[in-house]
Amino acid sequence: MSNTETPRYATMDCDDCEAYYWDAIAPEMQANGFDPDHETPTYSWLNRNYPGFVKHLSRQFDWSPSDFYDEYGIPPQQDAEESVFAFVEHDATREAIENYLEELADRRGRAESTVSTRRSILRQYLMTYEQVNDTTDLLSPLLNVSEASDEMDRVADTFDVLRQRDDALTTLAAKRKYVQEVRQFYKHQFSFGPAQYNPLDDLETRFGWDKTPDWDNPSLNANQVRTLYEAADTSVDRFIVVGVCGWGLRPSEVAALHMRQLPDSLDPLDDPYIQFEDGERKNGPGTVTMLTGLDVLRERISALTEREDWNGHLLPSTSAAEGHITTETVNTRFKRLARTADVTVHGETPTPKYGRRFWYTTYTRAVERVATRVSAVAEEQGSEDASVVLENYLSEEERRQRRREEMRDDLDKLFEVVGKTADEVTDTFENVDR
């Protein structure tokens, strides 16, 4: 079947969907700058070009595109990072990019999620640059300042195509973030390599992107979080809501959470926390206290212990190379749940970022209340700023404990386990070998 024909999706079984993906969708991806052997299309691109296919996956199999990719091991070479820049014919450019990414990971200690994002953006930028300018040589034009004007034009032409092609570059904040990611590579070449200038200087001004963007994402409120949770009819969706809204985790962190990161006890009196090691979190090693949702976590573990081949991930995937579901799957399930629950923010379907911001908003209010409650002590000490008392008269452990108590008050009863009793899931957790 040609990708120009309108297929009868209703007649497709699972294997037909896989065949259609490779016969019709993959060639169209390649024509639009994607590499089907190493990446999947963005959801917005797939839904724009093949909306019937997306709807068929959802209606017939209850799959998101990510579920479909996981089921059939798409892309087939998803862990072959050394092949990501194989298309770059200019050896010096390819080596410069790979050395830059390696330095980010090894010398600067950036988290793998940060390096992966930078790698993906640079790959997309370079592929588009090649299509627009018929070369993958990013370095030679940088050796002579006299070429700066022409090279800046070539870069601007590349961004003209990028902003029209990539649906992710729709907001001012997203555009500026993308420019900054690419600029850092050029900055590295200018600071430590042969480059005589940075061709992305003043690019925002040229495109009218030099206004101050609104970087903040809107936040869900407590009622909306509770509504989302009540609409979740599986332990997976309840776990995602708790992880994002109750613990303040990133979608990638929820997707990859493993039993080894959990403590031996999930008793609230023990202040249980999630332990992140180096490379597991964008902002480095650390801990996240689980102030709520412990019953939901126990429920999830109880459901997984029935599997003989469980690998320890709280959201496992048998087909994904990493052993757990993808970040995109978490995003998709969260948005699907929001649509089911009819929860919107400013008329739009919220993403996990809205839920994570709920956690931060709740945390900020808790800190403010703690400061208010010690204001009387501040007055007695002759201080006009309650934060002085927080810093000078309370230990870090006391400050942390008061914040936790305030947070628990805010989060109380938002997340209650559905199904098994707390005693049943507690017994299951205590018998799990981590």
Q: 93-122 burial by CB neighbour count: b if 16+ within 10 A, else e?
A: bbebbbebbeebbeeeebbbbbbbbbbebb
Determine the Cα–Cα distance for residues 204 and 415; give it in Å rounded to an integer: 44
Confidence of residue 377 (pLDDT cuts 50, 70, 90): low
Q: What pLDDT shows up at residue 66?
A: 74
Determine the Cα–Cα distance for residues 263 and 261; give it in Å rounded to an integer: 7
Question: How many CB atoms are located within 10 Å of the residue 379 CB?
Answer: 12
Write down the residue that tokens 């996956």 correspond to: 57
Q: What pLDDT shows up at residue 376?
A: 57
Q: What pLDDT shows up at residue 267?
A: 84
Write down the residue that tokens 């998709």 correspond to: 332
Q: What pLDDT shows up at residue 334?
A: 95
In single-letter form, the type of residue at position 90 comes to H
What long-range pairs does 197-205 form, CB within 8 A, spacing at least 24? Answer: 197/142, 197/145, 197/148, 199/141, 199/142, 199/148, 199/151, 199/152, 199/154, 199/155, 200/155, 201/152, 203/152, 203/155, 203/156, 203/159, 203/179, 204/175, 204/176, 204/179
pLDDT digits over 203-227, tens only? Answer: 998 988 887 555 455 789 999 999 9
Determine the Cα–Cα distance for residues 327 and 17; give it in Å rounded to an integer: 22
Mean pLDDT of the chain: 80
- Rounded to two decimals, the pTM is 0.51
Mean pLDDT within 39-59: 82
75 prior amide bond cis, ω within 30: yes
Mean pLDDT within 390-404: 65
Statement: residue 163 has pLDDT above 90: no
Statement: residue 421 has pLDDT above 60: no
- State the sign of the Cα–Cα–Cα–Cα dihedral 175, 176, 177, 183: positive
Determine the Cα–Cα distance for residues 262 and 275; give it in Å rounded to an integer: 7
Domains in the chain and their CATH numbers? 9-72 (no CATH), 81-207 (no CATH), 222-430 (1.10.443)
Q: What pLDDT shows up at residue 161?
A: 85
Mean pLDDT within 126-146: 91
